[in-house]
Chain A
């Protein structure tokens, strides 16, 4: 079980009433850490996940400097001090 930092986008923080962008979470993998975050931060899951249980189409997740969509399951194991960052995908629009 690793202790890592989860950094959330400001629109999500503001709508949940969170004053900080960074939150300490625990887990052996990225998925476990996100599950831990959903438990610690009520209301977060609906903003990151759709009804399939996966991340929403325009939500990106990075483990340190690498997008998780380019990491195998085995490469998503966590070590103490790792940083998970949630970002809005570059999607264009107004």
Chain B
């Protein structure tokens, strides 16, 4: 069971189908769950869970356990785990900086739930891991106490570790994206980390730390080659073919190099991004809300708009608020800062908006159940 029983009874048609697609929409004021069948045309939206709390990230581990992160500017962050969304319980030994230290944990930005180890990236920037399916967490000192740390400066969204990638074939090889610092890679399971930003424009110049000062906004792993990574950065769109040793721009066709989320469909390898106008304005270019797609590994991009609202639509998509579902045809989900969720069930060719307006959307994840 995914939803609380009182919600399940309200959606008998959805629950009667064999496959169910559930979108966990994390907002400024709680989480909402949109459910559909494999067609992804008819949706039921229920919620909120965690009413009044920011829901900043979620994940489901290979064991089937859900992990959901909440935060409040009054009451702080927390992590909740459970085998279904109706049975989430707060973790007592969640990610936390030591009492009495200089670092404060304001929210969990991302959760990477692996088969044997989970990672959580947080603000103030740092990384934590769990080897017991999210029940207890320990810091990753090799990154959290990195020699460059004194040169780490917060961006507009804070000093946050918001992206974690793990090589599916080699769990020792890990990437972490921190804004406004850059990408770090570990080749020894997190013991040591090296900045990997060559080729990316430096936006926070610091002669003492020439290898950082890059403001990564999002990372998307290639579906086939772990060392191929796509990077939406403050300074533009980039890709690497060598695990981050070198980066190159790939912006042909984008209405702007600036944006936040980036994702790759694991079946088709189609890339999705949402360009917005510059760091100064952070609004859709010309008032046109247009995600972009690349079907050739970032060589070129095309705008998508069939079914999306006409201009002016002046809200963007925050870095954690885009997701793909990996189904065939691929589903793409965009949660906007205006509280709309747009869904494409055909890889971006057409879109529909869910019939609801939610609080500002912070995180979107898709969970498919057979």
Contacts and interface: CB of A to CB of B under 8 A. Distances in A.
Interface string A38-53: 0000110011101111
A63 to B, nearest CB: 20
B90 A16 contact: yes
A91 interface: yes
Contacts of A14: 50-52
A16 B77 CA distance: 12
Instruction: Pick the most buried of A12, A15, A48, A53: most chain B CB atoms within 10 A of its CB.
Output: A15
B98 interface: yes
A59 B76 CA distance: 10
A11 interface: yes
B78 A43 contact: yes
A43 B76 contact: no
A41 B269 CA distance: 47
A59 B72 CA distance: 11
B83 to A, nearest CB: 15
Main secondary structure on chain B at its contact with chain A?
loop
Interface string A52-76: 1100101100000000000000000
Contacts of A17: 89-90
A52 B74 contact: no
Contacts of A52: 99-100
Contact of A58 (B73, B90, B101, B105): B73
Given A46-B94, A50-B76, A15 B100 contact: no
B99 A51 contact: yes
B76 A15 contact: no
A44 to B, nearest CB: 10
A14 B103 CA distance: 27
A16 B53 CA distance: 12
Given A15-B50, A56-B76, A42 B105 contact: no
Contacts of A16: 90
Nearest to A46: B76
Contacts of B77: 46
Interface string A79-94: 0000000001101011
Contacts of B369: none
B56 interface: no
A88 B78 contact: no
Contacts of B78: 15, 43, 46-47
A11 B92 contact: no
Contacts of B250: none
Nearest to B88: A17
Given A11-B74, A43-B78, 7 more contacts: A17-B89, A47-B72, A51-B96, A51-B97, A51-B98, A51-B99, A59-B74
The 3 A-B residue pairs whose C-beta atoms are closest, nearest first, are A47-B75, A58-B74, A43-B90
